[in-house]
Amino acid sequence: MKYFSTNNPNNTVSFREAILQGLAKDKGLFRPSYIPQLTKTFLNSLNDLSFQEIALEVAKNFVDGEISNSELENIINSSISFPAPLAKLSDDFSILELFHGPTLAFKDFGARFMARTMEHFLKTENKEITILVATSGDTGSAVANGFYNVEGINVIVLFPGGKISKIQEKQITTLGNNITAIEIDGTFDDCQRLVKSAFVDEALKEKINLSSANSINIGRLIPQSFYYFESFKQLENSNKKIIYCVPSGNLGNLTAGLIAKKMGLPISKFIAATNANNVFTEYIDSGIFNPRASQITLSNAMDVGDPSNLARIISLYDDDYNLIKNVIFSKSFGDEETLRKMKEIKDQYDYIIDPHGAVGCLAIEKYKNNYGESFNSVVLETAHPAKFLDVFKNNLEFEPEIPERLSGCLDKESKIIKVSKDYKDFQEFLLS
Ligand SMILES: *Cc1c(COP(=O)(O)O)cnc(C)c1O
């Protein structure tokens, strides 16, 4: 299996290179050169397999011998080490809970798999690398946690001072060891700019081996396909069509679902649910892609104005907009509707859903109203509601309990290094 850049199919690299490079040199995104087909026997036997066994079978196709099967099994067992259960709210409506990992968001699957895969490749080369991540909250904690105590890798997380939630700050700053948290006296954009400047600083790169753990890394995408198979296994057999609804921002989760479908998983339709940042919904409706600055909403992990994975989706469907439109329905919803849906899900099913999942539930409702057909639907619950406690406290009359793995870090001591938003200061810190 080769991986090629969405900017140029002739620019191919190995799996190892794709993971370690992150972004292709021509700034495109790596994608598998073909989508492997899973056998009917495998798809019919999902019920007899554990989540880890399913993940291993799927992953083998993408790794294609570059990691031995026993080593790959170790990587999967240590990274995909928590469940992805379906909560059945009714006969044909389920919530796929992707928040059972250490930082309570689906990003744990991708970050942990990528971290351990990188560790494997670096170990054999006796190399040390430093990963820089700028975060507006969620990505930083998942990446920091994924790489925590991973040998040969140091992680430096830059976050904007006073602009992330207290829980998010604790998640990033209390790990210690190979994770260094830097508070930048500035905005998220300043953090991003500092990271980008470091990556083009040739003098710096001579002294430090820099890498990125950005969401565009194919090593984060591949493991996200695992839980589509795992959740499909948990659905009851029926003749109804199966629809997955994905609350979407950068479209990584959706792309992983489309890959699972192309590998043979019989999902008939995907619904991409968006908030007021509806660039992708517009694209599905009109074929016109008009990226723009993002706006702040209650489902803030979906506040994306220029979704990076669209290039991969277009490439997977051979640049054919009609094919894409056939597979994906999309709809966007505002904050008021989101709050209404959170309350409705609580009243109707006694289930507490987070703002991102609620946008997904709205989109399912809309699709049902538009098309009236009967189908079995799964909404991806991308984060635990306790991560958004403020949304509940400020707007609703109920709130979720805080799981221990989240409250646990609240009492721990933070270690923070403060750096100005001036690149010279950041560079000095990296060289010290
Ligand atoms: C990152 C994130 C999303 C968006 O996922 P994409 O793969 O970027 O589309 C949705 N919900 C939550 C809670 C997230 O953290």
- Domain containing 358 — which CATH number? 3.40.50.1100
Give the confidence band of 25 by pLDDT, cuts at 50, 70, 90.
confident
Please, which pLDDT band fits residue 2 given cuts at 50, 70 and 90?
very high
Q: Is 253 in the pocket of ligand 1 (CB under 6 A)?
A: yes
Percent of the chain with pLDDT over 90: 79
Q: State yes or no: pLDDT of 125 exceeds 90.
A: no
* Closest Cα to atom 8 of ligand 1: 250
Taking the C-alpha atoms of residue 16 and residue 142, their distance in angstroms, rounded to an integer, is: 22
The two three-digit tokens of residue 382, written as one number: 């991308």
| CA 363 to centroid of ligand 1, rounded, Å | 16
Domains contained in the chain, number: 1
Query: Which of 96, 88, 105 minimizes the C-alpha distance to 350?
Result: 88
Query: pLDDT tens digits for 366-390?
Result: 999 998 778 999 999 999 999 999 9
Q: What is the pLDDT of residues 29-61, one digit of tens each?
A: 999 999 999 999 999 999 999 999 999 999 999
**168 C-alpha to ligand 1 centroid (Å):** 15
Q: How many CB atoms lie within 10 A of CB 101?
A: 24
Q: Where do runs of H (alpha helix) occur along 372-415?
A: 389-395, 404-407
Pocket of ligand 1 contains residue 251 by CB under 6 Å: yes
pLDDT score of 372 = 77
> Counting atoms of ligand 1 from 1, which one is nearest the CA of 253?
7
CA of 130 relative to ligand 1 center, distance in Å: 25
Report which of 364, 343, 367 is spatially closest to residue 355, judged by C-alpha positions.
Answer: 343
The residues that bridge with 5 in the sheet, in sequence order, are 8, 30
> 105 CB under 6 A from ligand 1?
yes
Distance 299 CA to ligand 1 centre (A): 9
Q: Is 382 in the pocket of ligand 1 (CB under 6 A)?
A: yes
In this structure, which residue's CA is closest to atom 11 in ligand 1?
382
Q: 371 is in which domain, residue-wise? A: 83-106+219-402
For residue 213, the model assigns a pLDDT of: 79
Does residue 362 lie within any of the structural domains? yes
Q: Is 333 inside any structural domain? A: yes
User: Which residue puts its alpha carbon closest to atom 2 of ligand 1?
Assistant: 301
Q: Which residues pair with 418 in a beta bridge?
A: 183
Whether 107 is in the pocket of ligand 1, judged by its Cβ within 6 Å, is yes
Alpha carbon of 173 to ligand 1 centroid (Å): 22
Average pLDDT of the residues of the chain: 94
Closest Cα to atom 4, ligand 1: which residue? 249
Could you tell me if residue 99 is inside a domain? yes
In a domain, residue 21? The reply is no
Query: Per the domain annotation, does 314 fall within a domain?
Result: yes
Rounded Cα gap, residues 392 and 358, in angstroms: 13
Q: What is the three-class DSSP state of 297? A: coil
Q: Residue 349 domain-assigned? A: yes
pLDDT class of 408 with cuts at 50, 70, 90? confident
Q: Can you tell me the mean pLDDT for 285-295?
A: 93
Separation CA 390–CA 214 (nearest Å): 27
What are the pLDDT digits (tens) for 349-365? 999 999 999 999 999 99
With CA atoms as reference, report the closest residue to 345 among 59, 142, 11, 89: 89
pLDDT, tens only, 304-343 = 898 989 999 999 999 999 999 999 999 999 999 999 999 9
What pLDDT is stored for residue 151 in this prediction? 87
Is 363 a domain residue?
yes
Active site residues: 107
Q: Determine whether the shortest distance from the Cβ of 255 to ligand 1 is under 6 A.
A: no
The reply to whether 28 falls in a domain is: no
Q: Which long-range contacts (CB under 8 A, 24 or more apart) does 45-50 make?
A: 46/229, 46/232, 46/233, 47/233, 49/233
Pocket lining: 191 vs ligand 1, CB cutoff 6 Å: no
Query: What pLDDT, on a 0 to 100 scale, did the predictor assign at position 351?
Result: 98
- Other C-beta atoms closer than 10 Å to the C-beta of 179 total 24
Q: Which atom of ligand 1 is nearest to the CA of 142?
A: 15
Q: Which DSSP helix (H) or strand (E) runs through 274?
A: strand 269-274
**CA 302–ligand 1 middle distance (angstroms):** 6
User: Ligand 1 in contact with 249 (CB < 6 A)?
Assistant: yes
CA distance readout (Å), 323 to 247, 256, 314, 329:
21, 17, 9, 12
- pLDDT at position 115 is 94
Question: Quick one: pLDDT at residue 332?
Answer: 98
Euclidean distance between CA atoms 18 and 16, whole angstroms: 5
Atom number in ligand 1 closest to CA 387:
13
Cα of first residue to Cα of last residue in the chain, in angstroms, is 41
Distance of CA 398 to the CA centre of its chain: 28
Higher pLDDT, 196 or 156: 156
- What ligand 1 atom has the least distance to the C-alpha of 250? 8
Whether ligand 1 lies within 6 angstroms of the CB of 298 is answered as: no
Does 215 score more than 80 pLDDT?
no
Dihedral (Cα; 352, 358, 362, 364), 10-degree rounding: -80
Q: Over the range 270-280, which residues count as b (16 or more CB within 10 Å of their CB) and which as e? A: bbbbbbbbbbb
